[in-house]
Amino acid sequence: AQFWLRGKQPDQPVCFDVAAGVWNVYGFPETLAVLSDPKKFSSDTARVVPEQFHLLADGNLGELDPPRHTKLRKLVSHTFTPKVVAGLEPRIAALTHELLDAVAGRPRIELVADLAYPLPVTVIADLLGVPASDRHLFKESVDKMVGSSGQFSLVHHSEEQDSALRTTKEQIENIAGYLRDHVAHRRQRPRTDLLTQLVEAEVDGERLSDAEVVNFAIILLFAGHITTTMLLGNTVLCLDAHPEQFAKARADRSIVPAVVEESLRLFSPFAVISRVTTADVLLGEQHLPADQLVRLWLAAANRDPRQFADPNSFDPTRDPNPHLGFGRGIHFCLGAPLARLEGRVVLNILFDRFAHLRSDPDDPPRFIPAPSLTGVSKFPLLTS
Ligand code: HEM
C-alpha cells in the first residue's frame, strides 16, 4: 500500500477501489480541489460509514462541517493559540535536553523511545494539565490502536477489521474515562491549564459540553503526539539518507525549518484523510456520485510530479513547498505551529549535541505497519 515510499506514482489521480467501495485520490490538484470545497466534500464521514466505524462523536473537529465546525474551531482556537504554542519553546528545549542527558555518552540511542515518543506526549500532557507520569496509559492505548489499524474496507467485513475496531473503541473509552475525571475536577477547581480553559471557553454565549472537552482532549493527545513522533523520526531518516544535508543544516540553522517542511512532504505522517461527497461531482476526469467515501492520499499528492519537480528526492531548497502534510482549507491542522516548533527545536538541539548521527547498518529502522501512517517505530542511531 505504501507505494509512494518506493517512489511509484499511481497511473490515475482518482480511482474507484471496488474491493473497498471507496474512491482513492492520489493527485495534488485533485486533492486540493476536494479540500477547497467542504460543501461538496463533507468531513462528516458518519453519513456513509456504518455506526461501528464511528469512534468519537461530539467535539471531533475533524469530522464536523460548517457551521458547527466554524463555531467549535473558534472555541478551541481561543485556547490553543499560536502565542500559547510559542511560549512552549523553552519547555520543549529543556525537555529535549533532559531526555538526551539521560542517554548522554552512549554510543547508540534509540531515537523513538529515547526522544521522539516521550517529548511530544509530555508537552501535550503538560499543556492539557494531566500528569506526564500517566503517559504510559496513553502510550499503551495508542500502541494498541496503531497495532490494530490495518486495511480498511466498507464492503467486506472481516473478523480482523472488527477486532481492530473493538480494540480502538476500548482504548478510546479508557482514555475518555480518565479524562472525564479530570474535566469534572476542573469544573470544581479551575487551574491554569488547557483543560480548564476548554471548560471555561465561551464564544457567542456558548460553551463546550463535557463530552466535547473530553473528545477534543483525546484528539490533542492522539494527534498531538503520534504525528509529531513520526515527524521527528522521518526528519532524522531524511538526514541520515543525505549526510551532506545533515552537515549543511548543522552549519546553517536558518535551513532547519525548510528541512522539516521537506520531511513533511516526502514522508507525510498522516498519509490519508477522508471526505464524503454530498452531490454528484466531477473530480479529475471521474464522475463521483453523491454519498461516496473519498480517501485523500496526502502522502501521494505530496509526490505528484505535476506539482513537485523530482518528487521522490529530498530537497530542502524547494521554495515554495506547498505540501499538504497538514491538510489545507478550513480543517488545516490546528497543531501545525506546535509540530513545526517541536521539529525545529529538536533538530537544533540534536545538531548542537551531535556532530554525527547515523543509522546502524546492523539494526535498521522499523516502520509503523499501518498504511495510513508514515513513520518509524524504532530507529537506532550511532552517535559517533
Ligand atoms: C488536523 C496532520 C500535529 C491537532 C490535521 C489534518 C492533518 C494533520 C493532515 C487535516 C485533517 C483533515 O483535513 O481531515 C498533522 C501532522 C502533524 C500534526 C502531520 C505532525 C507532524 C498535530 C498536533 C496537534 C494537532 C501537534 C495538536 C496538539 C489537529 C487538530 C486537527 C488537525 C485538532 C483538526 C482541525 C480541524 O478539523 O479543524 N492534522 N497534525 N495536529 N490536527 Fe494535526
The CB of 351 under 6 Å from ligand 1? The reply is no
Domain boundaries of the chain, sorted by first residue: 7-382
Nearest-atom number in ligand 1 for the CA of 219 is 33
Q: Report yes or no: 120 and 99 within 8 Å, Cβ to Cβ.
A: no
pLDDT digits (tens, 9 = 90+) for 96-155: 999 999 999 999 999 999 999 999 988 988 888 988 778 777 777 766 666 555 445 555
Indicate if ligand 1 lies below 6 Å from the C-beta of 327.
yes
Tell me what the mean pLDDT of segment 234-242 comes to.
Answer: 97
Q: How many CB atoms lie within 10 A of CB 360?
A: 14
Q: At what angle do helices 118-128 and 135-148 cross, to 10 degrees?
A: 120
pLDDT > 50? residue 228: yes
Each residue of 153-170: b (16+ CB within 10 Å) or e?
ebeeeeeebeebbebbbe
| Chain Cα centroid distance, residue 109 | 24
Q: Is 254:248 a contact under the CB 8 Å cutoff?
A: no
How far away, in angstroms, is 105 Cα from ligand 1 center? 35
Query: CA 120, CA 139: separation in Å to the nearest integer?
Result: 12
User: Rounded CA gap, 68 and 54, in Å?
Assistant: 18
- 269 pocket-lining for ligand 1 (C-beta < 6 Å): yes
> In which residue are the cell numbers 504510559 written?
136
Question: How do residues 13-25 score in pLDDT, each as one tens digit?
Answer: 999 999 889 999 9
Q: Ligand 1 atom closest to Cα of 69? A: 38
Q: What is the ipTM of this complex?
A: 0.99
Pick from 130, 235, 333, 374 the residue to mutate for probing ligand 1's pocket: most ligand atoms within 8 Å of its CB.
Answer: 333
CA 325 to ligand 1 centroid distance, Å: 9
Atom of ligand 1 nearest to the CA of 216: 33
Ligand 1 centre to CA of 336 (Å) is 7
> Is the CB of 128 within 6 Å of ligand 1?
no
CB of residue 84 inside a 6 A radius of ligand 1:
no
Residue 228 Cα, ligand 1 centroid: separation in angstroms?
10
Q: Which tens digit of pLDDT belongs to each residue from 142-195?
A: 666 665 554 455 555 677 777 777 877 888 888 889 999 999 999 999 998 999
Asked whether 39 and 278 are in contact (CB, 8 A), the reply is yes
Under CATH, which architecture does the 7-382 domain have?
Answer: Orthogonal Bundle (1.10)
Between 380 and 135, residue with greater pLDDT: 380
* 38 in contact with ligand 1, CB cutoff 6 A: no
Query: Is 72 within 8 Å of 56 (Cβ atoms)?
Result: no
Q: b/e per residue, 236-272, with b = 16+ CB within 10 A?
A: bbbbbebeebbeebbeeeebbbbbbbbbbbbbbbbbb
pLDDT computed for residue 1 by the predictor: 42
Quote the pLDDT of residue 148.
53
The Å distance, Cα 380 to ligand 1 centre, comes to 27
Peptide bond into 67 cis (omega under 30): yes
Closest CA to 330 of 124, 28, 41: 41
Kindly report the number of other CB atoms within 10 A of residue 17's CB atom: 14
Measure the CA–CA gap between 95 and 98, rounded to whole angstroms. Answer: 5
pLDDT in tens, 324-363: 999 999 999 999 999 999 999 999 999 999 999 999 999 9
